[in-house]
Structure 1
Amino acid sequence: MLERKQVKNRTHVTFVLPADTPPGPVSVVGDFNDWQPGAHTLQPRPDGVRAVTIPLPANSVHSFRYLAAGDYWFDEGQADGHDGTNSRITT
């Protein structure tokens, strides 16, 4: 799930997944972090999910995927679109 909050000329995008699906650590990897695994790892929240918030420039488009333990790559079901193998988000 994606949560968005406009803050001046930025959009804070929160990437949210269930606490245990998939199991193990998960990071969001995309053009906004030079596709670096572990740069934005989802952390547990009190409401029973895990999430990470990334401020992105407003009015921009970004490609991303999730990377879980065991080199398991997967897409966001609520993404704005896809460009082949990547999820896309428009801020």
Structure 2
Amino acid sequence: MLERKPRKDRTEVTFVLPAGTPPGPVSVVGDFNDWQPGTHTLTPRSDGSRAVTVALPGKSEHSFRYLAAGDYWFDEESADSHDGLNSRVHT
């Protein structure tokens, strides 16, 4: 799930996954972090879900995927769109 908070010149996008699905550490990897695993690792929230917030430029589009333990790549089903293998978020 994606949550958005518009700011003056950017949008804070929070990437959210349910607790334990998939198990182990998960990071969001995309063009906004040069596709570097571990840069934006999801951390537990009080409700048990896991999340990480990334500030992205306003009125932009970005490709991303999730990377879980065991080199398991997966997409965001509720992304704004999909581009081949990647999920897309529009700010």
Residue identity opposite 2:17 in structure 1: L
What is the CA distance between 1:52 and its match in structure 2? 0.1
Residue 24 (structure 1) aligned with residue 27 (structure 2): no
Aligned equivalents of 1:16, 1:75: Cα separation in 2:
12
Unaligned regions of 5+ residues in structure 1, if any?
none
Q: Spell out, residue by residue over 1:7-57, the C-alpha distance to the aligned partner (whole angstroms, 9 max, x if none).
A: 111000000001100000000000000000000000000011000000000
- Following superposition of structure 1 onto structure 2, how do residues 1-91 of structure 1 map, counting pairs within 5 Å? 1-91=1-91
Aligned equivalents of 1:27, 1:85: Cα separation in 2:
16
Q: Percent identity?
A: 78
What is the aligned residue count?
Answer: 91
**Secondary structure at the residue paired with 2:21?**
coil
Aligned equivalents of 2:34, 2:17: Cα separation in 1:
22
Aligned equivalents of 1:21, 1:88: Cα separation in 2:
20
Residue identity opposite 1:53 in structure 2: T
CA RMSD of aligned residues (A): 0.4
Residue identity opposite 1:20 in structure 2: G
Unaligned regions of 5+ residues in structure 2, if any?
none
What is the CA distance between 1:88 and its match in structure 2? 0.4
Aligned equivalents of 1:76, 1:56: Cα separation in 2:
17
